[in-house]
Structure 1
Amino acid sequence: MGAMRLTHVTTAELDRLEFHAVRSGEHGPVAAQLLDLANQVDAGSEISRAELFVRAGEQWEIAQEFERACAAYQRAIDDGGPTVIDARALSAGALLHLDESEQAYAHLKRLEAEDPPGLQTYIHVAEALYAHDDMEGAERWATVGAGRFLGLASSPYVRDLLMELLRIRFRIRVDLGLDEDALDRRLDEG
């Protein structure tokens, strides 16, 4: 697939590029294209420059290129534009793969100290901590996120994300040997 040369990126174009990565396995080349797009995109683009850096980082992670992923996430952090999942959470996950836990937890601490993150960020952090055997941290992030969004599931999409977070939390709590609680029972209502 030839390199895309755009200064205005739409969701549909991004979806096509990412689908190509999945279909072809060319995650590294697609990550490089996404970085190139991020460096060229104009302010009127449907997709923010920071989101393109994040998407590039995710492709680098799939390619097991965690240092490159961290660099892309740092560019998103530095850019400060809107992203679906907070770049600090994504960077923390990649840093954990590199055994840079001190730096990873510093990102998460800063993330907690600021405005509460979005639901997808809570999901990502809980999964990343769970994958790296920080069960207590994963359970805490999942519990805080579920508590924050419990009354805010205003759309089917948000409700589905909340149920996903509750399922992750339940799995973590089972692994920790904790008794079922009111949040766990919300899964039965879903």
Structure 2
Amino acid sequence: MRVTRVTTAELDRLEFHAVRSGEHGEVAARLLDLANRVDAGSEISRAELFVRAGEQWEIAQEYERACAAYQRAIDDGGATVIDARALSAGALLQLDEIDRAGAQLKRLESEEPRGLQTYLHVAEALYAHDDLAGAERWATEGARRFLGRDLTPYVNDLLWELLRIRFRIRADLGLPEDDLDRRLDEE
């Protein structure tokens, strides 16, 4: 049976259920099922459903399944909030698949454009896996790319979050304060 469309409200309901119940694996399986049945006219793309399933698998600490879901999103090629290659790289790092994660990030770096959420996710994932230089580079590139743009309040909040993590990374690296660090004084 095909699903004509999946709405944001339905997706929110499923993810809220996962948070309340702790049934992240079950919700991931439901999201994968929806992705396999959704029509092209859906409010939520098939690729985004694969991404959301992967995120639920990650929360359930099922990193191989998360990687498989992210790969399906990559293969689908549809629109996603966070680039599936960035999410895949994070899950691969959890599996200690450093070379495969690096290959995903290289592919991601070679293409444009990337959303702010993608920069933030990559910076956080690299930071969590002690690649401080890589995390600082991604955070810096994202901050420079989005500073000065007219952003929605939500994306503006993400920019401040990126600047804060960048500041922590640079402090851990022992780097001196720079112009982007000083932007935090404006917050």
Q: TM-score, normalised by structure 2?
A: 0.97
Which letter does structure 2 place at the counterpart of 1:71? A
1:101 counterpart = 2:98: yes
Pairwise CA distance, 1:67? 0.1
Per-residue deviation, residues 51-107 of structure 1 (Å, max 9, x unmatched):
000000000000000000000000000000000000000000000000101010101
Aligned residues: 186
Partner of 1:182: 179
What stretches of structure 2 of length at least 5 have no aligned partner? none
Which letter does structure 2 place at the counterpart of 1:136? A
Which letter does structure 2 place at the counterpart of 1:62? I
1:81, 1:106 → 2: CA distance?
21
- 14-23 or 154-163: which moved more? 154-163
1:167, 1:153 → 2: CA distance?
20
From 30, 34, 57, the counterpart of 1:33? 30
1:110, 1:181 → 2: CA distance?
29
1:77, 1:154 → 2: CA distance?
27
Pairwise CA distance, 1:125? 0.0
Q: Note the aligned Cα RMSD (angstroms).
A: 0.9
2:7, 2:136 → 1: CA distance?
36
Q: TM-score, normalised by structure 1?
A: 0.96
Contact 1:7–1:37, Cα closer than 8 Å, also in 2: no
SS in 1 for 2:78: coil
2:86, 2:151 → 1: CA distance?
24
From 121, 125, 130, the counterpart of 1:124? 121
What stretches of structure 1 of length at least 5 have no aligned partner? none
Partner of 1:141: 138
Partner of 2:78: 81
